Amino acid sequence: MYLADDNRYDSMKYIRSGKSGLMLPAFSLGLWHNFGDNSNPENMAELCKTAFDNGITHFDLANNYGPPYGAAEKNFGKIFEENFRSYRDELIISTKAGYDMWPGPYGNWGSRKYLLASLDQSLKRMGLEYVDIFYHHRMDPETPLEETMGALATAVNSGKAIYAGLSNYDGEHLQKATEILNELKVPFVINQNRYSIFDRTIENNGLLKMTEGLEKGLICFSPLAQGMLTDKYLHGIPSDSRAKKDGRYLKESALTDERIGQIKELNEMASVRGQSLAQMSLAWVLSHKAVTSVLIGASAPGQILENIKAMENMEFSTEELKKIDDIASRVEYRTR
Ligand SMILES: NC(=O)c1ccc[n+]([C@@H]2O[C@H](COP(=O)([O-])OP(=O)(O)OC[C@H]3O[C@@H](n4cnc5c(N)ncnc54)[C@H](OP(=O)(O)O)[C@@H]3O)[C@@H](O)[C@H]2O)c1
């Protein structure tokens, strides 16, 4: 039987999500990769235990994480039942709906029909009575925002979600959504968006500024650009890497000579700071005042242990920040 480390709260930092009552660990664990039916069940359990033993109280899922879709929730549900049920009140478990999940017109985007059915399915797969955060996963240009936000309100009012979140919104839509959620008195506390040294979308689409202005939380996904912002690809593409194993979201073709050149320069900067590149990249995201948590993925428990040490040096000089911006701006970043 798993017994969590007694010292699990000693070194992790907990950061308030905007002006809400919710505090999140500076590092959260995402289950997008490495929790599908093609992954090793023992490794999955070890990843969750390593995270929790080190104060990572937040696990992030979505309906369609797999493969196949739904598998990460099902596999997490098994790990939860075997190890974490007695720790339920110490955990923040989130899920989402908004991308393609099941065939036909009701298994995608932002309708009330889709969101509420999907939440029920997620709870069943995970064996949970409620999730802590239920996100709308992406903006839907067709469904009225009032309908989607109304579905989040129902999710919370029915007790199936404690808080509501928005993912992949831009500044303009965040503002409109917030007005509706305020009217509906929904505890909307957090945005989930991609942010890294390489991906500056939220600096340019108004999300970062608006999040701060509205005093909402911000949890940043793919802070390591799916592993590119580590020393992993400095000497070729390892057989056990995401670029080699997956290829759908991180393509080998993304690792151009220019990109590797950038990574090498950043790696040198990190080593001058006494950090690994992964640690410097995570510290860079966390050092932004709007950021509540960095949402990391991991294929091995050792990566979690390395990455949380980023907390040991989160200060950047003006010169360092400028140099990072200069290096990052040299190559356009595309996610697919
Ligand atoms: N809301 C959304 O639309 C959305 C979209 C994407 C992700 N997310 C969430 O964000 C979470 C994290 O995303 P992500 O996995 O792309 O994050 P990431 O932290 O940028 O990338 C994680 C990957 O980087 C590699 N890695 C991590 N630490 C390393 C280290 N110290 N040294 C070398 N390699 C290291 C591992 O890949 P290898 O397999 O190569 O070892 C790991 O799986 C997801 O699980 C999900 O919960 C949300």
pLDDT at position 285, please?
98
pLDDT at position 246, please?
82
pTM of the model: 0.98
pLDDT tens column, 148-159: 999 999 999 999
Question: Around Cβ 114, how many Cβ atoms within 10 Å?
Answer: 25
228: helix, strand or coil: coil
d(CA 332, CA 280): 20
Q: Ligand 1 pocket test: which of 295, 307, 309 has the largest number of ligand atoms within 8 Å of its C-beta?
A: 295
In short, whether 298's Cβ falls inside 6 Å of ligand 1 is yes
Residue 246 covered by a domain: no
Phi, psi angle pair for 54, to nearest 5°: -110, 20
Residue 250 covered by a domain: no
Average pLDDT on 263-275 reads 98
d(CA 88, CA 131): 10
Buried b (16+ CB within 10 A) or exposed e, 284-295: bbbeeebbbbbb
d(CA 76, CA 185): 31
325: helix, strand or coil: helix
pLDDT tens column, 240-253: 999 998 878 999 99
Average pLDDT on 35-40 reads 98
pLDDT at position 334, please?
77
pLDDT at 335 over 90: no
pLDDT at position 176, please?
98
Task: State in Å: Cα 169 to ligand 1 middle.
Answer: 20
pLDDT tens column, 208-239: 999 999 999 999 999 999 999 999 999 999 99
Residue 270 covered by a domain: no
Of the chain, the percentage scoring pLDDT greater than 90 comes to: 96
In short, whether 299's Cβ falls inside 6 Å of ligand 1 is yes
pLDDT at 286 over 90: yes
pLDDT tens column, 39-79: 999 999 999 999 999 999 999 999 999 999 999 999 999 99
Average pLDDT taken over every residue of the chain:
97
- Strand-strand pairing, 58-60 and 14-16: unpaired
d(CA 29, CA 190): 16
In short, whether 226's Cβ falls inside 6 Å of ligand 1 is yes
Q: How many helices (H) and strands (E) does the chain have?
A: 12, 10
Residue 82 covered by a domain: yes
- Output the residue whose Cα is nearest ligand 1's atom 35: 227
Residue 329 covered by a domain: no
pLDDT at 332 over 90: no
pLDDT at position 174, please?
98
In short, whether 225's Cβ falls inside 6 Å of ligand 1 is yes
Residue 126 covered by a domain: yes
Average pLDDT on 165-171 reads 98
| Nearest to 44, CA basis, from 307, 303, 302, 299 | 299
Tokens of 194: 């991609």
Give yes or no for a contact between 62 and 95, defined as CB atoms under 8 angstroms apart. Answer: yes
Residues in Cβ contact with 31 at an 8 Å cutoff, skipping those fewer than 6 apart = 59, 60, 61, 65, 72, 76, 297
Q: At 18, which CATH number?
A: 3.20.20.100
My answer on whether omega of the bond before 144 falls inside 30° of 0, hence cis, is no
Task: State in Å: Cα 90 to ligand 1 middle.
Answer: 23
Query: How many domains does the chain divide into?
Result: 1
Tokens of 106: 């009701």
194: helix, strand or coil: strand
pLDDT tens column, 178-187: 999 999 999 9
DSSP string, 36-56: STTS-HHHHHHHHHHHHHTT-
Of the chain, the percentage scoring pLDDT greater than 70 comes to: 100
- Range(s) of the domain holding residue 58: 14-226+276-314
Question: Around Cβ 130, how many Cβ atoms within 10 Å?
Answer: 16
pLDDT at position 105, please?
97
Residue reference for tokens 């999940």: 101
Residue 254 covered by a domain: no
Residue 330 covered by a domain: no
pLDDT at position 154, please?
99
Task: State in Å: Cα 308 to ligand 1 middle.
Answer: 14
Q: Which of 36-40, 113-117, 144-148, 251-255 has the lowest mean pLDDT?
A: 251-255
Tokens of 124: 């069943």
pLDDT at position 336, please?
60
Angle, nearest 10°, between helix axes 71-79 and 112-126? Answer: 40
DSSP string, 253-273: GG--HHHHHHHHHHHHHHHHT
pLDDT tens column, 306-323: 999 999 999 999 999 999
